[in-house]
Chains A and B, each alone.
Chain A
Amino acid sequence: MSPEKKKPAKKPRPPRQKMPEQAPEERAKNFLEVPYGYTPEIAETEASRCLQCRKPACVQGCPVAVDIPGFIRRVAEGDYLGAARVIKSTNSLPAVCGRVCPQEEQCEQLCVLARKGESVAVGRLERFAADYEREHGDGSVPEKAPPSGKRVAVVGSGPAGLTCAGDLVKLGHEVTVFEALHKAGGVLVYGIPEFRLPKAIVQAEVDYLKSLGVKVELNRPIGRSETIDELLEGDFDAVFVGTGAGLPYFLGIDGENLNGVYSANEYLTRSNLMKAYLFPEYETPIIKARRVAVIGGGNVAMDAARTALRLGAEKVSVVYRRSREEMPARNEEIHHAEEEGIDFQLLTNPTRILGDGNGWVQGMECLRMQLGEPDDSGRRRPVPIEGSEFVMDVDVVVVAIGNGPNPLIPQTTRGLDTSKWGNINADEQSGQTSKPGVFAGGDVVTGAATVILAMGAGRRSAAAIDEYLGRPLEDGTSGAGSSQEPPADGRS
């Protein structure tokens, strides 16, 4: 069948558009963001690929239910600010999500185009619209509901807290976010590196929330500076706890307290939050090593490995006890790391860290593994290969095997139930805890997960808190039950 016979002639669908990015050999030496982002031309071409499905599957895959076809249509039409407005009506942190959401497991996975080819690049378009709005927008803010006279304290300024705060302030409540560190953003500022998420972008998103009326109190370690009970006895009618998974796990192997062994949290905090990569201009040091081993296979491990490379290490190895297939990191992150020359020691398990006799790391003994039967997580269990011990020559080891919940709030709050791992027990939908007026969401409830899942939890809790504060939704449904619905601006 020749194309001439087709009526009307259909333009072939362009391929999924790539994002221009820094060359691997170049970017491995700097902390600048890796991708440059779409140009308007590329964005419109990509947006034109969207089928504008009447029942869009992609939206089902978004934890905060962004109107994906709606914003993509506006990009295709050249109305970039309109696109940003659509996103911002349900997502307070679009520039962040466009960069760090695992779209390939969410919206993009469900895209109809993905069935026969490549999905629409929803994340890249979201990033484009958000960046365009930040650079060219007039700073206008959405309409807010009339003041409710209610006050809500949000503990923690990470993705869950910021999302919850943004939604609550739009609903007319007075919101104060308490952050223990000296900068707002939680994991977005201390954890995710500059080259993946520029800190100026996080600050801009925080400033946007402030422009909506959210108060941000830095240097307030709730639990110590004041307790949740004191917040409730004082100014606040409800509290949302989004304190994240901030307590690093170690392996419990010999040599872990040697100098040169870092938790990924410490390594990344020094580099990102304290800007140790600019030492001595910035006063916080970080050990610059020749050879670095990063233990773990998640996004945090990729971030730590790529940071080590940029700090000048000659060789950086990711040491992971399962195979590449089981690595929890996003494909894109693994791919970027590989491109930059990170060495992957897969099916390898550290058994002890060796010292030089003066308290410093000199090497790491590992065992090779093979995959056995599936374990509780459904992944094949790694089993040691006997006699396969070998020593890696390294001078810094970064442990990136996960984090537990921060203990400050559970330790200091009366009547707040936790799991045996210390996670706060909260209703999956509403985030309601065992303590009246206290809601929780994000990693402190679920254990370490993703930015967007924490945002989804913050969002659902905002709706539940709104209901708790005595403002039933117009449609008569409960706030908790209607969490998939965007909070329409201006509802009373």
Chain B
Amino acid sequence: MPRFLGNILENLFGKPATVRYPFERPEHVPGIRGELSFDMSKCDQCQDCERLCPSGAIEVDVEGKRIEWNPYMCIYCHLCVRSCMHQAITPLENVQPPGYRLEKKVFET
């Protein structure tokens, strides 16, 4: 019973364990695997990222010099970031927010 009472008091007066999400957002830790951003001035369209991507989220258009990245297919493994020879892919430290439409992100020179 004393253990029980302590628990009740802790729950009554203690802080909640969760974050009130839409009003306050949790801090993202450094090193989190977030969204990708392609630096097209460094990219030479070698297509390494497209070939390695396990979920097929990256499409490289060699002639048009543009990259389409699908954030809803991406599994955020960052194989592309590790494999890029020119370090043209920089991950952002955020989490892809939920969206209403399945939009791809387009990176052009």
**A, B bound:** no
Chain A residues packing against B (C-beta within 8 Å): none
Chain B residues packing against A (C-beta within 8 Å): none
